[in-house]
Amino acid sequence: MLTSAARLVPGGRAVGVDLWRSVDQSGNDPAGSRANAGAEGVAVDLLTGDLRALPVRTGAVDVVVSSLAIHNIPDERGRLSAVGEAYRVLRPGGRLVVADFRHARRYAEELTRLGCTDVRVRGLGWRFWYGGPWASTAAVTATRP
Ligand SMILES: C[S@@+](CC[C@H](N)C(=O)[O-])C[C@H]1O[C@@H](n2cnc3c(N)ncnc32)[C@H](O)[C@@H]1O
């Protein structure tokens, strides 16, 4: 997701934040992600950090993208903290898209509560099944006013 986003902003800066937990993704490490980005011809900045406390300045980001990560936080309070952090780092008018196969509607409710506009949830189709149709992924999109 980060590499694809970076390709869309050749003059911009693409920053990825992760805890690099191998329990969530085998072979997970920043060197691999950096090499993948390099193979695609883009540079990315990779930070080690928790989605619940992003190491990013408030209002500094044009677009937040998150793919199949927030569901790994075990408790709802933590997941909503992550959504709140994504909102915090967005600049006014910034856009957000979060792909999740479990809690997309709950994130949409939270983004609405936080004051986002254009909050939408849409299915991403069979290409984004997390193993099968019982775990189909939806994307939440929203704008920070
Ligand atoms: C299934 S992988 C998805 C990785 C990537 N976004 C993708 O779509 O290929 C889930 C990722 O979430 C990360 N993760 C889980 N809990 C996290 C947390 N609290 N803060 C930051 N990253 C976390 C894991 O380390 C892992 O890299």
- Only one residue has tokens 């933590």, namely 78
Tell me what pLDDT residue 19 has. 98
Residue pLDDT, tens place only, 44-101: 999 999 999 999 999 999 999 999 999 999 999 999 999 999 999 999 999 999 999 9
Tell me what pLDDT residue 64 has. 98
pLDDT at 131 over 90: no
Percentage, residues of the chain above pLDDT 70: 100
Query: Measured in angstroms, how far is the CA atom of residue 79 from the centroid of ligand 1?
Result: 12
69 lines ligand 1 (CB under 6 A): yes
Tell me what pLDDT residue 94 has. 98
Q: Which of 106, 98, 95 is CA-nearest to residue 138?
A: 98
Query: Measured in angstroms, how far is the CA atom of residue 42 from the centroid of ligand 1?
Result: 20
| 3-state SS track over the chain | CHHHHHHHCCCCCCEEEECCCCCCCCCCCHHHHHHHHHHCCCCCEEEECCHHHCCCCCCCEEEEEEECCHHHCCCHHHHHHHHHHHHHHEEEEEEEEEEECCCHHHHHHHHHHHCCEEEEEEECCHHHECCCHHHECEEEEEECC
Long-range contact list for 32-40, CB < 8 A, 24+ apart?
Answer: 33/2, 33/3, 36/3, 37/2, 37/3, 37/6, 40/3, 40/6, 40/7
Query: Measured in angstroms, how far is the CA atom of residue 20 from the centroid of ligand 1?
Result: 7
Residue pLDDT, tens place only, 85-106: 999 999 999 999 999 999 999 9
Tell me what pLDDT residue 130 has. 85
73 lines ligand 1 (CB under 6 A): yes
Contact indicator for 121, 108 with CB cutoff of 8 Å? yes
Domain ranges of the chain: 1-49, 56-145
Q: Tell which atom from ligand 1 comes closest to the C-alpha of 52.
A: 19
- Can you tell me the mean pLDDT for 13-30? 95
Mean pLDDT for the chain? 96
- Can you tell me the mean pLDDT for 133-141? 95
- Can you tell me the mean pLDDT for 25-34? 93
Single pTM value for the model: 0.96
Domain 56-145 falls in which CATH fold? Rossmann fold (3.40.50)
